[in-house]
Amino acid sequence: MPRLKPLLRAARDLAYRVAYRGTSRWCPVCEHTLRRFAPRPMVGSRRRTGVMCPHCGAYERHREVWLFFERKTDLFTRRNTQVLHVAPERCFERRFRTRIGRGYLTADLNDASADVRMDITNIQYPDQTFDVIYCSHVLEHVPDDRAALREFHRVLKRDGWAVILVPITVAETLEDPTITSPKERKRLYGLRDHVRRYGRDFVGRLTEAGFNVQVFDASDIADRSEITRMGLTPGTGDIFLCRK
């Protein structure tokens, strides 16, 4: 059965591409046009429509942060850059390796396909190792997220920067470390393996770790027509740019 999974995935992807063929939408990650974006596979009890690129699998937050990298940073033009990508997304990894080169490093605590196994609350690299750190939708799974943020700050070079994304779903961060039941975590935080819901006060955690923070939204990166064509969602996918 494991051998069939890649074939089934390829067949599904081909069916998606045929079904969504068109030109009214565009994915900046893989640069394909399409008729509309596909539904996102079921997550918890939610199924969202019109969010996933059927060609590369990018969701709206991936398309938004890709545009951010291209339009607001030097990630793809800077040479000899040491980049740490935590929990690499499938839609990004191959493209990052091609455009960034030998300095690109993927890390994950559980995924054996990553370049290194890493606990981001205790990173095994010296101070000021990386020029860029990218971490998206990981910290809501990490019990001691403050320790992870301090580690990001420690291993980032003085002139480096980090882009961090978390789902902002409440006004003020909601967490209780005594709650360990997956069922209760799902009820309170949305998914069984989430340990908190982040609010707008997330910026405070970043500054507490030593970062200077700028917050970007889709409307800071793309105009109204691009937002529609790329399926972005202004006001919900904040990008936190962190510098020392």
The CATH 3.40.50.150 domain(s) of the chain lie at: 59-243
Q: For 73-89, b where at least 16 C-beta lie within 10 A, e where not — what string? A: eebeeeeebbbbbbbbb
* Assigned architecture for domain 59-243: 3-Layer(aba) Sandwich (3.40)
The backbone torsions φ and ψ at residue 200, rounded to the nearest 5 degrees and listed phi first, read: -65, -15
Nearest to residue 217, comparing CAs of 72, 91, 89? 72
Task: State the maximum Cα–Cα separation within the chain, in Å, rounded to a whole number.
Answer: 50
pTM of this prediction exceeds 0.75? yes
d(CA 191, CA 74): 35
pLDDT in tens, the chain (244 residues): 556 667 766 776 677 667 778 789 999 999 999 999 988 765 554 667 789 998 999 999 999 999 999 999 999 998 899 999 999 999 999 999 999 999 999 999 999 999 999 999 999 999 999 999 999 999 999 999 999 999 999 999 999 999 999 999 999 999 999 999 999 999 999 999 999 999 999 999 999 999 999 999 999 999 999 999 999 988 766 999 999 9
Q: Are 25 and 33 in contact (CB under 8 A)?
A: yes
Whole-angstrom CA distances from 193 to 41, 137, 238 are 17, 12, 22
- CA-based R_g, the chain, Å: 18
- Number of DSSP helices (H) and strands (E) in the chain, helices first: 7, 11
